[in-house]
Structure 1
């Protein structure tokens, strides 16, 4: 079976109302349709990579290609885990966790998006908390980082709620314009002190070699 060769297919991260896992092909198609319907209000920039700003079909295709690319490029030294967020069995967005040289650095970064119809329900906080549990409790991370444009209030509020601290700024250029992002960092000690939802992980042990810590 494919899971014997790619055990990440069996990884599950769950809270009371969410499940984070890799999708099958039909679920990936459904997720692409969620992206096609919109990730943020038109005319708003939320990401350095402009995949959410194209036409619906372009957003859907970009999502599928990114998911396939991250699986194909995976190595224990450089990986990106695109965990699809399921609510009531339906995909609603993605919680990404990635790392470079994780066995030595023990540091992950996170990014995420939700379909526009699912904003404002507290899902963003809960799915990030689930990903952090995987990183700290499951993989033994010591640091987690995130970054958001300084005018992107929602993810910055999620980071503050989960115990992140400011970690400087990043200045990037896109289409000739300088875009400023607030960097944030969460240490294991602050994660331990932060109230968060209960999270369970299953299917992790067979995956540890893929993260470079088996």
Structure 2
């Protein structure tokens, strides 16, 4: 699609393909959301979108991606990738930037279908977008945060070399909760072997960056 080059953008790792989802990918991603992302009684998200029934979770998944596409500007963008493992869509990995051309700071967020947990996939897909951030986009920092009880996300973050960067208070389901913030500087980033970015050049102007 000439006017939306993101559909050609992809990142590959030894096991995964990350790509901006097609409509068919969104259907499959909705299936993963419907199947379940986390155990009952636990909420890793500030907005509790996974509290709905399976059909509602699937619909909210598609709507989230539609909103990200429609709201993207050079000064405020979010790229939400479908993550494929052995040809199957298994989750989503996002990277976001606000005034990125000035701040050179990118945030990340993700979720993974519950039956794919515990296989190191979360680490590999985060490493993929860190490669995009630092090697592809010239980021100076990557930031992320997670609730203190989201042990899996915190483990991925620490494994990839982030440093603690303070805390933030939130209200989650009417209760005060703490998120731990983290920051990874470009000089502390360790490149993961075997990651390749394809067709990034045409996307750069839409992200506020020079394509030359």
Instruction: Check conservation: 2:25, 2:82, Cα contact below 8 A.
Output: no
The superposition leaves residues 23-64 of structure 1 with CA deviations (integer Å, 9 ceiling, x where unpaired) of 111111011011100000111111101111211111111100
Indicate conservation of the 8 Å contact 1:162/1:196, yes or no: no
Q: Which runs of 5+ in 1 are unaligned?
A: none
TM-score, with normalisation over the residues of structure 2? Answer: 0.97
1:207 aligns with one of 193, 198, 203: 203
Q: Pick the aligned partner of 1:21 from 19, 22, 47.
A: 19
Q: How far off is 1:83 after superposition?
A: 0.6
CA distance in 2, matches of 1:98, 1:49: 17
> 2:87 corresponds to which residue?
89
Q: Is the Cα contact below 8 Å between 2:13 and 2:128 reproduced in 1?
A: yes
Structure 1 residue 198 displacement after superposition = 2.1
Which structure 2 segments of 5+ residues have no match? Answer: none
RMSD, aligned CA? 0.9
1:166 aligns with 2:164: yes
Does the Cα contact within 8 Å between 1:168 and 1:182 map onto a contact in 2?
yes
Q: 1:39 aligns with which of 37, 40, 54?
A: 37
For residues 23 and 195 of structure 1, do their structure 2 counterparts lie closer, same or farther at Cα, with a shift above 3 Å needed? closer
> How many residues are matched?
210
Match among 125, 128, 131 for residue 127 of structure 1: 125
Matched, 1:68 2:72: no
Distance in 2 separating the partners of 1:109 and 1:140: 14
Match of 1:141 in 2: 139
Find 1:54's aligned residue among 48, 52, 55.
52
The residue matched to 2:28 in structure 1 has which SS?
Answer: helix
How far did 1:195 drift? Answer: 5.8
Provide runs of 4+ in structure 1 moved above 3 Å: none
Structure 2 CA distance, aligned partners of 1:196 and 1:152? 24
TM-superposition CA deviations, 1:143-170 (whole Å, max 9, x none): 0001011111111111111010000001
TM-score normalised according to structure 1 size: 0.96
The offset of 1:81, in angstroms, is 0.5
SS, match of residue 140 in structure 1: coil
Query: Does 105-114 or 22-31 show the bigger shift?
Result: 22-31
Secondary structure of the residue aligned to 2:2 is helix
State how far apart, in whole Å, the 2-side matches of 1:146 and 1:181 are. 10
